[in-house]
Structure 1
Amino acid sequence: MVEKEKTALILVDVINSFFEPGQPNYYAGVENVLEPMRALLKTARESGTIVVHAVEKHRPEFHDFEWRKLPIHHLENAHDAAFFDDFRPEGPRETIIFKRRFSAFFATDLALFLHEQKVTRVVIAGVKTNVCIRATAQDAFASGFEPVVPREATNSNRPHLAEASLEDIDRYMGRVVPLGDALGMLA
């Protein structure tokens, strides 16, 4: 007998740094993912689906290996690392995972948490498709989850890399689906 898929929503880096104009990682067009992500979040909240807010945070007084490639960013309690607009966690079915690398799974307890909740599929939305979304989808797959990426709920300032990443996710790791399909999985 095949068990019904239990799905969780993972929102990746929905923080001021990417979505507030003038912040270090903001790029033109990023706002196009806001309404699709709001629809995903609303549906998940209404159905009682687990919502994971995976956000990058770094310790302000300590060196971080990531800074060899990137400028210092997303420090604890800094404005750029705060949740954007109406994407703050609410209620008992939402949790926060702090990550220090691109993937929400790498060096966090996300896989353990989701396995304990009997989750088998994760809908992944946020930014950037070719960096954090791809890394999270790859590690979701490696951790035994089916990653699903709603096409309208992610993008990048490098569209050609975003498209290549979506192709790889769909071909090798999971599925890239229209927003409506993802909403149905969360309902």
Structure 2
Amino acid sequence: MREAAMPLDDKVRKALDTIFSGDAGLYQTRGWNQRSGFGTRPALLNIDLANAWTRPGYRFSCDDMDERIIPGVQRLLAAARAKKVPIIYTTTAFCSRFDMGAFPLKKPFEDLMLGTDATEIDDRVPLEEGVDTLIVKKRPSAFAGTHLGGILRAGGIDTLICTGVTMASCVRHTVEDALGEGFRTVIVRECVGDRVPAAIEWNLFDLDMKYCDVEPLDRVLAYLAELEPFEER
């Protein structure tokens, strides 16, 4: 059984809020921390919401999935499907020890074998066969070594709405690459997680300053509600 991560107590959270508030002012005076906003043609990208990360008992498991992240993603899925917004899932999976390269030197990647329950998408946020897209990736970023950028451009997508885990790795690297690939990116605050609570807070702040917009779930849902239903190209 994995050890539970220590939650942020009120004193720590208050201290972080104070630090981030001051640092946000520094970025603002230097021309950073600008809002990229929403575009007109979004896609929903659910990053590594597979059992190894979302269910207890795995070495990759993250906290706060049942109480916050899964319910939030369920609401996003319903809103996106209502407007026929493209929905993309990623999982990280390997077909052999050799396929993993050097990753096992630092992490228990042998837990992520292709075809096992660990790498299957959590059935509480199910993928709709024949409609949604599943990308099996080998690296933290959903763009690295995959066709994600190509299908987004082919579909005329200008905005990525991101959920998933982990903030310090796969979410972060994907969001950084998304900006480099030319996409507006929005992280849904209530729908991302990590094994270490402090990693969530720091990365949300840092990415919001430099790479994307971090927005609350209600604002993202309101944006989706105002969209005209997608028409296939």
Does TM, scored on the shorter chain, surpass 0.5?
Answer: yes
Residue 97 of structure 2 is aligned to residue 70 of structure 1: no
Q: Retained in 2: the 8 A contact 1:8–1:186?
A: no
The aligned counterpart of 1:23 is 58
What SS does the aligned partner of 1:89 have? coil
Once the 2 structures are TM-superposed, how far is the Cα of residue 148 of structure 1 from its aligned partner?
0.2
The TM-score with structure 1 as length reference comes to: 0.92
What SS does the aligned partner of 1:97 have? strand
Residues of 2 paired with 1:103 and 1:95: CA distance?
16
Bigger Cα displacement from structure 2, 70-79 vs 173-182? 70-79
The TM-score with structure 2 as length reference comes to: 0.74
Q: Retained in 1: the 8 A contact 2:63–2:194?
A: no
Q: Which runs of 5+ in 2 are unaligned?
A: 1-38, 226-233
The aligned counterpart of 2:81 is 45
Residues of 2 paired with 1:67 and 1:160: CA distance?
24
The aligned counterpart of 2:93 is 57
Once the 2 structures are TM-superposed, how far is the Cα of residue 48 of structure 1 from its aligned partner?
0.2
Residue 167 of structure 2 is aligned to residue 129 of structure 1: yes
The aligned counterpart of 2:117 is 79
Residue 146 of structure 2 is aligned to residue 108 of structure 1: yes
Residue 202 of structure 2 is aligned to residue 164 of structure 1: yes
Q: In structure 2, do the counterparts of structure 1 residues 13 and 121 end up closer, same or farther at CA, with 3 Å as the change threshold?
A: same
Residues of 2 paired with 1:91 and 1:18: CA distance?
21
Once the 2 structures are TM-superposed, how far is the Cα of residue 184 of structure 1 from its aligned partner?
2.7
Residues of 2 paired with 1:21 and 1:81: CA distance?
14
The aligned counterpart of 1:11 is 46
Residues of 2 paired with 1:132 and 1:87: CA distance?
18
Q: Retained in 2: the 8 A contact 1:57–1:81?
A: yes
Structure of greater Rg: 2
Q: In structure 2, do the counterparts of structure 1 residues 118 and 40 end up closer, same or farther at CA, with 3 Å as the change threshold?
A: same
What SS does the aligned partner of 1:76 have? coil
Residue 179 of structure 2 is aligned to residue 141 of structure 1: yes
What SS does the aligned partner of 1:151 have? strand
Residues of 2 paired with 1:6 and 1:77: CA distance?
33
Residues of 2 paired with 1:64 and 1:120: CA distance?
32
- Identical residues among aligned pairs (%): 26
Render the CA deviation track for 1:6-43: whole Å, top value 9, x for unaligned.
10000011111012221221233232211001111111
The aligned counterpart of 1:36 is 72
Residues of 2 paired with 1:107 and 1:144: CA distance?
17
How many pairs were matched up?
184
Residues of 2 paired with 1:39 and 1:168: CA distance?
26
The alignment yields a C-alpha RMSD, in angstroms, of 1.5
The aligned counterpart of 2:188 is 150
Once the 2 structures are TM-superposed, how far is the Cα of residue 55 of structure 1 from its aligned partner?
1.1
The amino acid of 2:148's aligned partner reads L
The amino acid of 1:27's aligned partner reads C
